[in-house]
Structure 1
Amino acid sequence: MLTIQENVDMKAFTTFRAGGAARYFAKAESVEEILEAKSFAREKKLPLFFIGLGSNVVVSDAGFEGVIVKLGKEFSHFKFEKGTLVAKASTPLSMIARMSATLGFSGMHLLAGIPGTVGGAVVMNAGAYGEEISQTLQSVKILDDDETVKTFSLADCEFSYRHSIFQNSKKIILEATFQLTPGNSSEMILAQKKIMEERKAKQPLEFPSAGSVFKRSPAGFPGALVEAAGLKGKTLGGAQISSKHANFIVNIGNATAQEIYDLSELAKEKVFENSGALLEKEIIFLGKF
Structure 2
Amino acid sequence: MNKQFIYKELLNILDEKNIKVDEPMKKHISFKVGGPADFLVKPKTEEELRNVVEFAKKENVPFIVIGNGSNLLVKDGGIRGIVIELSDNFNNYEIDGNIIKAQSGALLAIIGRNAMKNSLTGFEFAAGIPGTLGGALAMNAGAYGGEMKQVVKTVRLMDRDGNIFELSNEEMKFEYRRSLLTTKDYIVLSAVIELQPGNVEEIKEIMADYSNRRSTKQPLNFPSAGSTFKRPEGHFAAKLIDDCGLRGLNLRGAQVSDKHCGFVINSGGATAKDILDLMFIVKSTVNAKFGIMLEEEVKILGED
TM-score range, shorter chain: over 0.9
Tell me the residue number matched to 1:71: 86
Q: Deviations over 1:228-277 (max 9, x none)?
A: 12111010111111010011111111210111111111111111111111
Matches within 5 A, 1:141-156: 141-156=156-171
Tell me the residue number matched to 1:239: 254
Q: Amino acid of the residue matched to residue 83 of structure 2?
A: I
1:10 aligns with 2:25: yes
> Contact conserved, 2:227 with 2:297, CA < 8 A, in 1?
yes
Q: Deviations over 1:181-221 (max 9, x none)?
A: 11121111111111111111100001111100011111411
1:51 aligns with 2:74: no
Mapped to 2, the partners of 1:58 and 1:74 lie a distance apart of 22
Mapped to 2, the partners of 1:273 and 1:226 lie a distance apart of 12
1:122 aligns with 2:137: yes
> Contact conserved, 1:126 with 1:133, CA < 8 A, in 2?
yes
Deviation at 1:168, TM superposition (A): 4.0
Mapped to 2, the partners of 1:148 and 1:241 lie a distance apart of 42
Mapped to 2, the partners of 1:40 and 1:263 lie a distance apart of 38
Deviation at 1:180, TM superposition (A): 0.4
Tell me the residue number matched to 1:269: 284
Mapped to 2, the partners of 1:203 and 1:8 lie a distance apart of 30
SS of aligned partner of 1:152: strand
Q: Percent identity?
A: 37
Matches within 5 A, 1:30-49: 30-49=45-64
Deviation at 1:73, TM superposition (A): 3.5
Q: Amino acid of the residue matched to residue 147 of structure 1?
A: G
Q: Amino acid of the residue matched to residue 14 of structure 1?
A: I
Mapped to 2, the partners of 1:145 and 1:45 lie a distance apart of 12
Deviation at 1:9, TM superposition (A): 0.5
Q: Deviations over 1:3-23 (max 9, x none)?
A: 543211111111111111112
Number of corresponding residues: 289
Matches within 5 A, 1:1-289: 1-2=13-14, 3=16, 4-289=19-304
Mapped to 1, the partners of 2:87 and 2:203 lie a distance apart of 30
Structure 2: state its 5+ residue gaps.
Answer: 1-12
Mapped to 1, the partners of 2:262 and 2:49 lie a distance apart of 34
> Contact conserved, 1:219 with 1:277, CA < 8 A, in 2?
no
Deviation at 1:36, TM superposition (A): 2.8
Q: Amino acid of the residue matched to residue 151 of structure 1?
A: E
RMSD of aligned residue pairs (Cα, Å)? 1.5
Deviation at 1:46, TM superposition (A): 3.8
Moved more, 242-251 or 93-102: 93-102
Moved more, 5-14 or 43-52: 43-52
Mapped to 2, the partners of 1:36 and 1:266 lie a distance apart of 43
Give the TM-score of the pair, scaled to structure 1.
0.95
> Contact conserved, 1:238 with 1:251, CA < 8 A, in 2?
yes
Mapped to 1, the partners of 2:283 and 2:194 lie a distance apart of 38
Tell me the residue number matched to 2:7: none
Q: Amino acid of the residue matched to residue 245 of structure 1?
A: H
Mapped to 1, the partners of 2:70 and 2:59 lie a distance apart of 27
> Contact conserved, 1:29 with 1:72, CA < 8 A, in 2?
no
SS of aligned partner of 2:27: helix
Query: Residues 72 and 105 (structure 1 numbering): CA distance in 2 closer, same or farther, change over 3 Å?
Result: closer
Mapped to 2, the partners of 1:29 and 1:140 lie a distance apart of 19
Mapped to 2, the partners of 1:89 and 1:107 lie a distance apart of 19
Mapped to 2, the partners of 1:47 and 1:112 lie a distance apart of 33
Mapped to 2, the partners of 1:201 and 1:131 lie a distance apart of 20
Moved more, 100-109 or 235-244: 100-109
Q: Amino acid of the residue matched to residue 146 of structure 2?
A: E
Deviation at 1:45, TM superposition (A): 3.2
Deviation at 1:72, TM superposition (A): 4.7
Q: Deviations over 1:43-65 (max 9, x none)?
A: 55343111111101121111112
SS of aligned partner of 2:181: coil
